[in-house]
Chains A and B, each alone.
Chain A
């Protein structure tokens, strides 16, 4: 059976290795390989001071383990090429199936990369003689199996957990935590530098905790072998094996649970009765009716719960992390960050409902209510939380001057977000798995990453007018002008919400059937393949692999020059902050600080624009080619110029 599973997995991988997925795999593979080589270098050279080398290696190995554990959470349930559901009818014992799936899981880029990384143990063992090296080879194998089985276990837990509301919230918390750690890692580095960790080594308590982590047991076994302490060697390796068996056993039980139980969600008792809050909302005309339906969905749809909680956790954690280095300055912006993230995660608002769009098509003429109701519900969902967070954050982390800034940006982004989400969801609808067929698994939200990023960026830009006015107020020390920024924010917000709503409404009216066609494809027919007259199925324009990889690269890395090296240093210069952290511009002398930060921002925007233009130009080219009539079976020649 194991052979059949491996063959099946390889076949599935081969079929899915196209376009962005291949690019993602290659990018990820290269990045992983660099990290793996880094791990070996750390073990092999005296790059790291002797005081911390073995602890640092333990930290890195722990990172690999947590990477495997959190990876599936971050990507939303791990790879789905071999789903346990596919095998639920086969007469196989759960444990045997778990074992088979585990072994099949070794096929792939990530296990190979991890194997290379873990071989750092062998390098490390060179200092402990032949016995150490011998033990290290066993340790590498056992640790690789351990991380794989732990990863599977997490996927299994997640698959069961995300089927409930609590699970969706927890998954959002873990997800947001991961994203924040990636984005705010500079704070941790700063804290490490600040405590002169590399010179004095880790605090003893930290080292003890580290030793107890299973990821360090291989190291323990090797050093014990070097000393000839064979009891400890046996205990460390035996512990790893026991852990693997236990995890495998639990995973097998979870597989049974996952494939034999179905989650069931109850509506709250009497939620729709007369006089209830949502009923009163619905009594206010058709827009209220739509808003009430939307708010019910926001509170019951696991995917939406996940996306919304993710935004809240992201904004709050993002601004809390700098407290490690006693910097409260980010707290007033928590609310704004939540709004921007909530706009990004709602960018596919219509798409999230799947083909339920048909109801509007058989009852046309209500597009305005459909759009306005969704905007209203989004605002009702997001505004109270973010106003509360902003007020609390500004009280704790702001000054008198921060208030107009925080409130102006909040107003501007709330309105801007409300306008942009409906626009993006009808102009760039991403077909996703039907709501009936998905849980809270964020991966099932479809490939919304690009759309999310664009909306995050655009929503941030909607705050620019208000920010300029607030800046002028601060610059010329005119509090009245600063407070006028709040009015500007409210005005641009209201204007954008109305304008975006109107455009979305027109688009919905004009292309409703085409949007439904795209949704019907359930993700197999991209909207770009649906032409103006709704003919679905024209081959989707696909970027060649090289360019696709380039686009992915640009989209991932353009944010570093834009935000951490560009806009944040600029903000710190203007607000007169003393700390320099890892912001390059802040290490320069004065005439150069602002130009360098601006140059970084410009560089990032250029990268972003290039990354956006490449696929658009490709699509235009594709359309131009397809407008040419096909004659005598030959492909049309691309137009010149």
Chain B
């Protein structure tokens, strides 16, 4: 596909002052961070912090009320076709064309992306094989388990060979073996010069695989930078709890819940 060759020094993903209001409630106040090319970037935060909202605005799924999102320097909202061809997206909890099998879905999307039939078929086969979805040849996406849905979603994100992957909770509900496979794929991708942005609330995982991260709380970035910098000598989990100020509630349990 004809793509503009972006400058290698520009950020893979750059969010500047993103704001999103839902009626009277402001879900995202001001989200600003930049992802350097070739980095494995984690976005962490408690439930409802605005992770999904921010990532949706970053890839063109949700129109921001203010701020900009650039992918390799190209504005996602001003030049959508060019910007979005460079990114692969895994949204959390959105529907797919449910009544297709995994293979039909991948071939369909690949053809929409302009690949010819042979390429589409070959890529679908390879992705299904790597992600261990060949067994479910006749199962419709509708009947996939949660983990399988994640995997097929991930396959759709990688199908067109993007240079940046934006993944919302890619490891949620995925079994440990598949999680290892996915991790391997992503790490190979990053080693080859690709960039990954993923959101998660599993601190241990982020600590293991990400080199940079942003902590979002209440729609604001409360810390961002290299992993060691954000950790500041502590474990990510304790640092996280400290940052989002949730320490008070950690010792409560229902009074009747005792053996």
Contact = CB atoms under 8 A, between A and B. Distances in A.
Interface of A: 264-269, 271-272, 282-283, 286, 289-290, 292-293, 296-297, 300-301, 353-356, 358-359, 361-366, 369, 434-436, 513-514, 516-517, 520, 533-539
A564 B133 CA distance: 56
A514 B63 contact: yes
Nearest to B98: A435
Contacts of B97: 293, 297, 353, 356, 359
A353 B95 contact: yes
Given A293-B97, A359-B109, A359-B112, 4 more contacts: A286-B112, A358-B61, A517-B62, A520-B94
Contact of A266 (B61, B80, B104, B139): B139
Contact of B112 (A269, A363, A517, A534): A363
Interface of B: 21-25, 59-63, 65, 80-81, 84-85, 87-89, 91, 94-101, 103-104, 107-109, 111-114, 117, 138-140, 142-143, 156, 160
B63 A293 contact: no
A410 B112 CA distance: 32
B142 A265 contact: yes
B25 to A, nearest CB: 7
Contacts of A362: 59-61, 84, 87-89
B23 A535 contact: yes
B60 A359 contact: no
16 contacts: A264-B139, A268-B138, A271-B101, A289-B112, A290-B112, A300-B140, A354-B95, A355-B94, A356-B98, A363-B85, A363-B113, A364-B81, A514-B63, A534-B62, A535-B22, A535-B23
Nearest to B81: A365
Contacts of A364: 60, 80-81, 84
Contacts of B114: 286
A363 B113 CA distance: 7
Contacts of A434: 95
B169 to A, nearest CB: 15
B210 to A, nearest CB: 23
A289 B138 CA distance: 20
Given A293-B108, A354-B95, A364-B81, A267 B60 contact: no
B60 A539 contact: no
B104 A355 contact: no
Given A356-B95, A535-B23, A272 B62 contact: no
B65 A535 contact: yes
A267 B107 CA distance: 15
Contact of A301 (B88, B99, B117): B99
B60 to A, nearest CB: 5
B96 A356 contact: yes
Given A267-B104, A537-B25, A516 B61 contact: yes
Given A272-B107, A355-B94, A535-B23, A296 B63 contact: no
B104 A272 contact: yes
B84 A359 contact: no
A267 B112 contact: no
Contact of A272 (B65, B84, B101, B112): B101
Contacts of A300: 99, 140
A516 B62 contact: yes
B138 A266 contact: yes
A271 B91 CA distance: 28
A425 B36 CA distance: 40
**Lowest 3 CB-CB distances: which A-B pairs, in order?**
A537-B23, A300-B99, A537-B22
A409 B114 CA distance: 38
Contacts of A283: 117
A344 B69 CA distance: 40
A447 to B, nearest CB: 19
A361 B100 CA distance: 19
A290 B103 CA distance: 15
A513 B62 contact: yes
Contact of B22 (A272, A359, A536): A536
Contacts of A271: 101, 104
Given A265-B142, A362-B87, A289 B111 contact: yes
Contact of B63 (A269, A353, A534, A538): A534
B81 A533 contact: no
Contacts of B94: 355-356, 358, 520
Residue from A296, A363, A514, A517 having most chain B Cβ neighbours under 10 A = A363
B109 A296 contact: no
Contact of A366 (B21, B62, B112): B112
A536 B100 contact: no
Contacts of B108: 282, 289, 292-293
Contacts of B101: 267, 271-272
Nearest to A264: B143
Contacts of B113: 363
A363 B100 contact: no
Nearest to A435: B98
A355 B95 contact: yes
Contacts of A293: 97, 100, 104, 108
Contacts of A292: 108
Nearest to B59: A362
B60 A361 contact: yes
A267 B140 contact: yes
Contacts of A289: 108, 111-112
Contacts of B81: 364-365
A436 B98 CA distance: 7
Contacts of A264: 139, 143
B139 A361 contact: no
Most chain A CB inside 10 Å of its own CB: which residue of B88, B99, B111, B112? B99
Nearest to A366: B112
Contacts of B109: 359, 363
Nearest to B93: A355
A435 B104 contact: no
A434 B160 CA distance: 26
Contacts of A355: 94-95
Contacts of A359: 96-97, 109, 112, 156
A277 B45 CA distance: 49
B218 to A, nearest CB: 17
